[in-house]
Amino acid sequence: MDLGSINPILLVASIMVSATPILLAAIGEMVVEKSGVLNLGVEGMMITGAVVGFAVAVNTGSPVLGFAAAALASAVLSLSFGVLTQVFLSNQVATGLGLTLVGLGLSALIGKPYEGMKSPTLPKLDIPLLGDLPVLGRMLFSHDIMVYLSLALVAAVWAFLKFTRAGLILRAVGESHDAAHALGYKVVRIRLMAIFFGGACAGLGGAYLSLVRVPQWTEGMTAGAGWIALAIVVFASWRAGRVLIGAYLFGGVTVLQLNLQAAGARVPVELLSTSPYLITILVLVLISARGIHGAPACLGRPFHASS
Amino acid sequence: MIRLEKRPQPSQLWTVLTPVLAVLLTMLVGGIMFAFLGTDPLEAIRTIFWDPLFNPQFAGFTRPQLLVKAGPLILIAIGLSIGFRAGIWNIGAEGQYIMGAICGAGAGLAFYPADSVLIFPLMILCGALGGFAWAMIPALLKVRFGTNEILVSLMLVYVAENLLASVASNLLRNPEGMGFPGSRNFKQWPAAHNAELISGTGMHWGVAFAFIAVILAYVLMSRHIQGFNIRLTGEAPRAARFAGVNPARIVILCLGISGALAGMAGLFEVTGPAGQISIDFNSGYGFTAIIVAFLGRLHPVGILLAGLLMALTYIGGELAQLMLGVPGAAIQLFQGMLLFFLLATDVFTNFRLSLGRKEPA
Amino acid sequence: MADPLLRLRGLTKAYPGVIANDDVSFDIGTGEIHALLGENGAGKSTLVKMIYGLVAPDRGEMRMNGAPFAPPRPSAARSAGVAMVFQHFSLFDALDVAENVALGMEDPPKPRDLARQIREVSENYGLPLDPSRLVGTLSAGERQRVEIIRCLLQDPRLLIMDEPTSVLTPQEVEILFETLRKLKSEGTSILYISHKLEEIRSLCDTATILRLGKKVDTCTPAEKSARELAEMMVGASFATPEARAHDPGAVILSVSNLSLPAPGAFGTPLRDITFELRAGEVLGLGGVAGNGQDELLAALSGERLAPAGTIRLDGQDISRANPVARRDAGLLSAPEERLGHAAAPNMSLIENGVLTAARREGLVSNGLISWPKARAFAEKVIAQFDVRTPGPGTAARALSGGNLQKFVIGREILQRPRVLVVNQPTWGVDAAAAAAIRQALLDLAAEGAAILCISQDLDELMQISDRFGALNEGRLSTIHPVAGLSIEKIGLMMGGAHDMEVAHVAE
């Protein structure tokens, strides 16, 4: 094994790239869960975003349009979940699973003609001064715009939940929909908006996979990233800052195992490729053993105004 | 303005009617989807739902396939439905299915080329144990640490897939296979072959076990006190604890049963229709079985019917792919839509629509 | 006379199968404390929801100071000067006091200003409260203060209070009344919903009595006797439990030094609880909600196991036995929460019978349930306890609260318990059913069973108990015979050894 072939500068840089899709999906899902809704369909929304973003980018030549279309498509798809669970009061776990299955089927159908194609990708930003810094410049300041947008989104979500009245109302709905309803807040409407936002974020995350990280379309390419995003929300105890930490830790594990594989480490390849999943399980166990704190009290519970 | 009004108790009529309505809606929307794909919708629906059973040209070949596909779906879905009734969400049946296949096949291959009637039963047992053990990981983690079983069981699917890739090309690789990944072919080893029991029907041991599972599950859920405890846990967890039900035991029981059944299904598949352990012998039955369980209203008899219907969409889908050039993914979407429509129409079981003035909510 | 603050004329609201309000008319004057009196299901809460904009009336009109008043949503009602203190469901445990207050305001000030205003109002009205505390950690009385302060910050013209004293100790009730009288003197009107007659007679200027959705009368409560008010409310006289004399028997259940940590973030730990329960006696345990009632029942029923040696039944240590084993030994219980705890809402009464009676009634053999026997048992409960239901196959959630409570209590009593532990046996139950349930408990005691009745209804405890104790923050007071207990003494027992007010201000 040749550990020397692993370049620490490139390692950190690629961690940021590899963490971004999960970070986007996880911060969106966190907002959804804060409103008291458990949407297990993140995987399905991500992969829909991946295929729609890719198809639009290939056809228009514009990755930016690809991202926009991906966000919109996944958000619209997530609304089907929203309508089912909030209006038709279906079981959230079952509907989330259904959303994932629909998303996987839909993406395979749309993506068939695009397999093996190349798409335009996002340019790396050329940040003056910062980008020229030795070491740090290449590590932190020479990425594409989405990496920075995802970080800005985390900060925005944090500030929204902590400082704004709308954020307070969103949290209140997630804590007790009955109390929020009694005070006259529109529980269903607020939750639908949160679900829509979560869908858009998952779509952006998916598009980042197919347009930047890989970048091409293959069937089932999210490979559990959506589920890992769900796990990161639990890991983060529903806090934006910790979602960031979780996503970057997870990105680190993924990149490290890929680097180890490339460096020919004396560890079976299969063990290395399962390590992200095994570590996710391990983290979930550690978090739950410590006691899960901060879960919104109404998470996953159906709400009907009459009851 | 249309409002939803909670029924005093669930409507029995709608419990039966919703799956039928969901199938009809799926056909309708699926037809529109086929029209967009440039296929005649009526022809597509006929090819999927009618031809596999009654077309004189293919039915002879496709009809037995019905049981071949339905067997594992029913077997897995029965196990899942028991857990879903208790509010225990094992969605990693695909992983338990793979591990059952690996363990059962591995146990058999250890005796190759012995010829004993005990080998196949031993393989079934080990298959069940493999699936059981794999399901015990989320079960014990949930009981001991309160870890979410949904995420753990799903993560373990990816782990199982990687393990499958590993054993197919290393541990269980056919030494006479000229270095290609994949185990020995069980069809060429009678002691371990899960052959058709009645020729031309598709009926193999896995299908027989599926039918037995349906009957046992029916007795368990409707007559046995443990089945009552499982339902009670799902309906009202606090009431279950008050009644004296040990929640940890229910978790172990439900995940254990579903894991063992999924493991058996995997073993029957590799020793029969698939024939060998290969990197991609699993075809997503573990996920489709989730749809089967819901479509069958988590009721054993319903699951039997839903399994047959879902098997039909598989076979019909392949036929439509062959005859009409419909993409294979369209069928996957079709199945997903079925679940979605079922969940949507399910609202009528517990609520009724009423026309009335809008309430300021 | 000038226009009253709020004039209600012919308000009618129907729900499927029930007319909640039928042609209700009355006036609420400025600076008046107006009682709305009625049993559960009389239509009080629907009426209030219409005033607060949560429900629109089918017919009838409201006028405020002479102008039409029809709030389409609560925020409209709030901006018109209507504020409401809810009985349930309007606080958020995981948010702090200031956030909870802000959520109930139309246009809350900046967080720092809000905290200052909360402190000011709480001092002005004698309601001490720290704006930065998490609401989940507050006592029931303090939680109510959050609601009241939330309302007062908006300078309401009409304050609606829904059963405000059900969660308070007698001393806390006095403090609340002082606050309300002060508000009244400042010109605020109060609509005061209650079914406690003495309270209304001492506090309210006017009372409107509702029965089955219709107005019975509007009167001056001080001029009526409690009995007259009760008859208007109930409409008919009902049997009061028979007094009885008995000799206490041998000790059946003994609990010694039982301590258990709190079950969750917002639960109450049990601290060193010790008492004995004798054959044929009823021991009543009072206390404000959230002082360990649920936790004590869970420890006795076996839902939570207790440290070895703390709970003995007939001298046998059952502390580590599960609920099934305790039932086998004759210790039965009925928790407070009917739907979801004592009964599974979506399951039939037959199945809910199996829930606790599976073994004692022989409904199961070799693990298989005999559904015919289970049906017969459910039918027996329904017949003997006058449970109004279409049949035993009906889902539990389809029954009214009172009927389901009769079923739950009946289910346990028919199993001939040696010890029966009940929590809030008549909560939310109409007067006739409550009387029937109390009588059934007394009959059971007369047959030699020992009964532990946990309740927040002091009248109920005084009526049926032989001895009385109170729970406070998970501790049990000393137990006294009911005969000769004064209300002041009871209040002190409920408040614990220390004075609550002082303790809270010091925090």
C-alpha to C-alpha distance for B289 and B114, rounded to whole angstroms: 35
Rounded alpha-carbon distances, angstroms, from residue B189 to B116, B117, B192? 11, 12, 6
Count contacts between A and C (CB, < 8 Å). Answer: 49
Residues in Cβ contact with C67 at an 8 Å cutoff, skipping those fewer than 6 apart = none
Q: What are the DSSP E strand ranges found in C247-399?
A: 251-260, 270-278, 282-286, 311-313, 316-317, 331-334, 364-365, 368-369
- Level-2 CATH architecture, domain B71-326: Orthogonal Bundle (1.10)
**Nearest chain B residue to A182, by CA:** B361
Q: Work out the pLDDT band at C502, boundaries 50, 70, 90.
A: very low
**Chains in contact with A via at least 3 Cβ–Cβ pairs below 8 Å:** B, C
Q: What is the mean pLDDT of each run of 10 residues along chain B (361 residues)?
A: 72 85 91 86 89 85 90 97 95 96 94 88 96 97 93 94 90 83 87 84 92 97 96 94 95 97 96 89 89 92 94 90 84 87 85 59 36
Which residue among A112, A188, A285 sits closest to B327, beta carbon to beta carbon? A112
Touching subunits of C (3+ CB pairs, under 8 Å) are: A, B
Tell whether the torsion through CA atoms of C55, C58, C61 and C67 is positive or negative: positive
Q: Give domain limits for chain B.
A: 71-326
Instruction: Note the pLDDT of residue C88.
Output: 66
Cα angle C78, C172, C223 (rounded to 5 degrees) comes to 80
Architecture field, domain A3-123+142-290: Orthogonal Bundle (1.10)
Residues B339, B295: contact at Cβ < 8 Å?
yes
Mean pLDDT of chain A, nearest integer: 89
Report CB contact under 8 Å: A112, B91. no
The mean pLDDT of A3-8, rounded to a whole number, is 69
Average pLDDT score over residue span C83-107: 85
Token pair listed for B141: 């983690």
Nearest to A105 among B333, B343, B350 (CB): B333
pLDDT tens-place string over residues C268-293 = 899 999 999 999 999 999 887 778 99
Catalogue the long-range contacts made by C502-505 (C-beta closer than 8 Å, 24 or more residues apart): C504/C128, C504/C142, C505/C128
State percent of chain A over pLDDT 90: 53
CA distance C233 to C294: 31
- Give the nearest partner residue to C342 out of B232, B235, B242, using CB atoms: B242
* Alpha-carbon distance values, A59 to A52, A62, A72 (Å): 11, 8, 17
With CB atoms and an 8 Å threshold, state whether B346 touches A90: yes
Q: What confidence score (pLDDT) does residue C290 get? A: 78
Q: In this structure, are residues C404 and C373 in contact, taking their beta carbons and an 8 Å threshold?
A: no
Contact C95 A183 (CB under 8 A): no
Q: What is the mean pLDDT of residues C178-206?
A: 88
Q: Which among A176, A178, A183 has the least Cβ separation from residue C104?
A: A183
pLDDT at C238: 46
Burial of C1 (C-beta count, 10 Å sphere; 0-12/13-18/19+): exposed
- Predicted pLDDT of residue C505: 35
Question: Burial level of C186, CB count in 10 A (0-12/13-18/19+)?
Answer: exposed
Residue ranges of the domains in chain C?
Answer: 6-234, 251-506
- CB of C161 within 8 A of CB of C478? no
Q: Fill in the amino acid letter for C120.
A: E
Question: Residue A76: is its pLDDT beyond 90?
Answer: yes
d(CA A74, CA A56): 14
Look at residue C498 in the predicted model and tell me its pLDDT.
40
The string of pLDDT tens digits covering residues A103-124 is 998 999 899 889 888 888 888 7
Predicted local distance difference test score (pLDDT) of residue C506: 34
**In a 10 Å sphere around its CB, with 0-12 CB exposed, 13-18 middle and 19+ buried, how is residue A216 labelled?**
middle
Tokens of C452: 């532990």
Q: What superfamily would CATH give domain C6-234? A: P-loop containing nucleotide triphosphate hydrolases (3.40.50.300)
- Gap between the Cα atoms of A87 and A83, Å rounded: 5
* Nearest Cα to Cα of residue B138 among B108, B93, B190, B180: B93
Non-local CB neighbours of A122 within 8 Å, separated by 6+ positions: A63, A64, A144, A145, A146, A211, A212
Using the Cβ of B56 and the Cβ atoms of chain C, whether some distance falls under 8 Å is answered with no
Average pLDDT of span A35-61: 95
Considering only CA atoms, which of B214, B217, B336, B334 is closest in space to residue B287?
A: B336
List, as ranges, residues 257-316 from C with C-beta within 8 Å of B. 301-303
Do residue C303 and residue B242 have CB atoms under 8 angstroms apart? yes
Q: Which residues pair with C35 in a beta bridge?
A: C192, C207
Residue A133: its pLDDT value, please?
75
**Helices marked H in chain B:** 12-36, 41-49, 51-54, 59-85, 93-109, 119-145, 149-169, 205-222, 225-235, 237-243, 247-271, 285-295, 300-324, 328-345, 347-350
Q: Tens of pLDDT along A195-245?
A: 999 999 999 999 999 999 888 899 889 888 999 999 999 889 899 999 999
**Average of per-residue pLDDT values in chain C:** 86
C208-236: pLDDT as tens digits:
988 888 888 898 988 888 777 777 876 65
Ramachandran category for residue B249: left, alpha or beta (phi over 0 → left; psi -120 to 50 → alpha): alpha
Contact C93, C134 (CB under 8 A): yes
CA angle B207, B210, B212 (to 5 degrees): 115
How far apart are the two ends of chain A, measured CA to CA in Å? Answer: 64
Q: What is the DSSP letter of A124?
A: B
- pTM, entire model: 0.87
Q: Given this model, what pLDDT does residue C245 score? A: 60
Residues with Cβ within 8 Å of B216's Cβ and at least 6 positions away in sequence, in order, are none
Reported as a single tens digit per residue, the pLDDT across A136-193 is 777 777 788 899 999 999 999 999 999 999 999 999 999 999 899 888 899 999 999 9
pLDDT for the residue C140: 76
- CA-closest candidate to residue C129, choices C107, C161, C153: C153
Higher pLDDT, A263 or A293: A263
Q: When comparing pLDDT for C368 and A293, which is higher? A: C368
Is it the case that residue C242 has pLDDT exceeding 60?
no
Which residues of A are less than 8 Å from B351 in CB distance? 89
Q: Is the pLDDT of residue C507 over 60?
A: no
Q: Shortest CB distance from B6 goes to which of A103, A234, A306?
A: A306
**To probe the interface with A, which of C49, C86, C89, C99 has the most A CB atoms within 10 Å?**
C89
Please give the residue of chain B at the shortest CA–CA distance from C353. Answer: B243
Kindly tell me if the per-residue pLDDT of A56 is higher than 70: yes
Q: What is the pLDDT of residues C36-50, one digit of tens each?
A: 988 766 788 889 989
d(CA A210, CA A54): 6
Residue A43 CA to residue C66 CA, distance in Å, equals 58
B154 and chain A: CB distance < 8 Å anywhere?
yes
Ranges assigned E (strand) in chain A:
none
In this structure, whether the domain defined by C251-506 belongs to CATH 3.40.50.300 is answered with yes
If phi > 0 it is left, if psi is from -120 to 50 it is alpha, else beta; for residue C64 that is beta
| Bridge-based pairing state of the strands C480-481 and C467-472 | antiparallel
Question: Comparing C-alpha atoms, which of C221, C252, C440 is closest to residue C331?
Answer: C252
| Cα B310 to Cα B289: distance, rounded to the nearest angstrom | 9
Q: What is the reported pLDDT for A246? A: 93
Query: What one-letter code names the amino acid at A255?
Result: V
